């Protein structure tokens, strides 16, 4: 897994526009152009652990209220599954499709095999500074485990304080 202070790997992944359903290609650098980004990797759309714990995406969306911070969700599911999942769960967070697992692998959070499926993202959260370095990193091998949102909030606040100096 990536550690704090290292350069976050660039990625460009397909995403659906929640308003009109068009498929766009979205890059990490697109999100970093206006400030830092929170990147949340999760196992599957509609997986019981993700559906049961979808509040992590809702809770991360709370951070998106700050216009200077982008929030995205990433899994190995298709953009079509993401569209259905976002609609069913009322998610406004952009969901990116890492269908070959390359982004999750680059971030060190890819299961080789998960419940009979190959190339599946582990649950992980990365706060990435606008210069592309990792300011905060968390991951787990347990798909039902939630990130510590107080720790994420402290990391965001610390990053804001450092940027204002």
For residue range 119-142, what is the model confidence (pLDDT) as tens digits?
889 999 999 999 999 999 999 998
Name the residue ranges covered by the structural domains of the chain: 12-164
Q: Evaluate if residue 55 carries a pLDDT over 60.
A: no
Strand pairing report for 117-121 and 23-27: unpaired
- Tell me 100's DSSP state: T
In this predicted structure, what is the pLDDT of residue 32? 95
Cα end-to-end distance, the chain, whole Å: 29
Band the pLDDT of 34: cuts 50, 70, 90: confident
Three-state SS at 148: coil
What mean pLDDT is predicted for residues 50-73? 65
What mean pLDDT is predicted for residues 70-99? 88
Is domain 12-164 classified as CATH 3.40.30.10?
yes
């Amino acid at each position: 897994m990536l550690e704090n202070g290292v350069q976050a790997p660039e990625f460009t992944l397909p995403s659906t526009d929640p308003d009109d359903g068009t498929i766009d290609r979205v890059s990490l650098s697109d999100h970093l152009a206006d400030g830092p980004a929170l990147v949340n990797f999760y196992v599957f759309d509609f997986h019981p652990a993700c559906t049961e714990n979808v509040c992590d995406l809702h809770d991360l969306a709370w951070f998106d209220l700050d216009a200077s911070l982008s929030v995205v969700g990433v899994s190995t599911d298709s953009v079509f599954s993401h569209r259905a999942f976002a609609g069913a769960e009322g998610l406004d967070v952009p969901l990116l499709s890492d269908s070959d697992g390359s982004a999750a692998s680059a971030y060190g959070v890819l299961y080789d095999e998960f419940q009979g499926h190959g190339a599946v993202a582990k649950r992980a959260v990365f706060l990435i500074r606008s210069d592309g370095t990792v300011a905060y990193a968390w991951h787990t091998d347990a798909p039902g485990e939630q990130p510590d949102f107080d720790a994420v909030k402290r990391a965001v606040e610390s990053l804001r304080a450092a940027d204002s100096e």
